[in-house]
Amino acid sequence: MSKLVLKNVAKRYGAFEAVADFSLELAKGEFVSLLGPSGCGKTTTLRMIAGFMPPSGGSIEMDGKQISSASGVVPPEHRRMSMIFQSYAIWPNMTVGENVGFGLQIRKLSRAEIDRRVDKILDVVQMRNLKGRYPAELSGGQQQRVALARAIVVEPEVLLLDEPLSNLDANLREEMRFEIRRLHDEFKITTVYVTHDQSEAMVTSDRIVVMNKGKIEQIDAPHVLYGRPKSRFVAGFIGRTNFVEGTLQGSDVRFDGFGAPASALEGASGGGKLLYSLRPQAIGLSTQKPGGSGLAFEAEIVDRSYLGEYWDYQVRPLGGSKPLRVSTAPTAVFEVGSRVWLEIAPSAMVRVE
């Protein structure tokens, strides 16, 4: 049985639809991210799961029992969930130990038991030595760990995270991503994670829900989402990509400056424009005509940038008008204006929208 089920959940403010027809099932112990630009409805969805907001339509069930619907909600304090907030919401009037022990105290555990569990979880997040400190004396990363410990120590049925890393600097953010995933692997808590940062979602999640303007665009595992985006939005939001537009002409699809046999491309049928997504990493660059079975055609280097980890080239197919972005290893150096060969595997071209 699924742990958490959202059925056609909607949230409306007057005529504005913040969340529309949102359906999702989480297996027990699954880690799912809600990913999307700000204002896409991901935080609203999370707050409905937490019980802070009633949905305008649809329902939310946990362990087969309905906990939210338009006609009533179980208040957050009775949902046995826990949540990590964007601001961490560490209580500045309590020490680290008191913050972490609060939820256990509410559950009326004995003093000794609370101490034991608090110490144990503080060991896990490597904060044991700071148990007596007040939050004002902690760094951002340490506060984040307190928030994690406080949320996990109560062994929640569902753990909710609302952009928990957005207030940290870049290095710490990367470290905490792995920390969150590590804690999930250790405790196997069913988790919903809200973020606008695709790499955060990709590192942490079993599955990612990409949202846009209140609607679900696609739900898939990170590598599927990247490799086989279903819509133009998903392809553009997850990683960088080239959008190429073609039309079916006989047995070929004609793109801007190159063509491909329709039989080799997915979804190459029907009239009108056919839109494909082509990742910059999926294009090969060489000075010699490649001998493989993929598409190969000549092009000119228009512009380039060196980013340390890779080269970012702008390459225009001969006879085409718009350049394509191509990423290559830092060792593959081509001068601007030089002629090169491009190689594309037709399977790397993903039909979108």
Partner 1 sequence: MAMASSAIDAMPVRPVRASRFDSTWLLWIAIIAVLLFLVVSPFVYLVITSFQTERTGEFTFSNYATAYGRARYIDALFNSLKLGAASAALASIFAVPLAWAVARTNMPGRGLTRMLVLATFITPPYTGAVAWILLAGPNAGWLNRFYMMATGAEAGPFNIYSFTGLAVVIALYSFPYIFIFTTAALELVSSEMEDAANILGAGPWRTMRKVTLPLALPAILGGMIICFLEAIALFGSPAMIAIPARFNVVTTQLFQFFGNPVRVEVAAAYAMPLLGVTILLVLVQRLIVRRKGFVALTGKGGERRPIQLGRWRWPVFGYAMFVAALAVFLPYIFLIQSAFAKAWGRGFLLDNITFANFRFILFEHATAAQSVINSFVYGAISATVAVFLTLGVAYIVARRLIPFGGVLGFLCVAPFVIPGVVLAIGFYAAYAPPPLALYGTALIMILAFTTRFLPVGYVNASAAINSLNPEMEEAVRVLGGSRLTALRRVVAPLLKRNMMGAWLLIFIPATRELSAAIFLYGPNTKVASVMIFDMSEEGNFERLAALALVLQVLTLPLLWIGQKALGRDFMLRRNAT
- Name the residues that contact partner 1, by CB under 8 A: 50, 52, 54, 65-67, 69, 71-83, 85-87, 89, 91-93, 102-104, 106-109, 117, 120-121, 124, 150-151, 154-155, 160, 186-187
Ramachandran category for residue 319: left, alpha or beta (phi over 0 → left; psi -120 to 50 → alpha): left
Length of the chain: 353
Nearest approach in angstroms of CB 288 to partner 1 is 58
Tell me the pairing of strands 158-162 and 190-195. parallel
Nearest approach in angstroms of CB 254 to partner 1 is 54
| Closest alpha carbon to 56 in 25, 19, 23, 26 | 19
C-alpha separations of 308 from 5, 9, 128, 314, 330 in Å: 44, 45, 39, 17, 7
Nearest residue (CB) to partner 1, 74 versus 348:
74
Task: Label residues 11-34 b or e (16+ Cβ within 10 Å = b).
Answer: beeeeebbbbebebebeeebbbbb
CA distance 20 to 17: 6
| Closest alpha carbon to 305 in 296, 297, 313, 293 | 313
The distance between the two most distant Cα atoms of the chain, rounded to a whole number of Å, is 78
Judged by DSSP in three states, 150 sits in helix
Judged by DSSP in three states, 263 sits in helix
Extract the tokens encoding 223.
Answer: 């590598």
Nearest approach in angstroms of CB 105 to partner 1 is 9
Nearest approach in angstroms of CB 252 to partner 1 is 57
Nearest residue (CB) to partner 1, 188 versus 289:
188
DSSP state of 290: P
CA distance 197 to 204: 11
- Beta-bridged to residue 245, according to DSSP, are 275
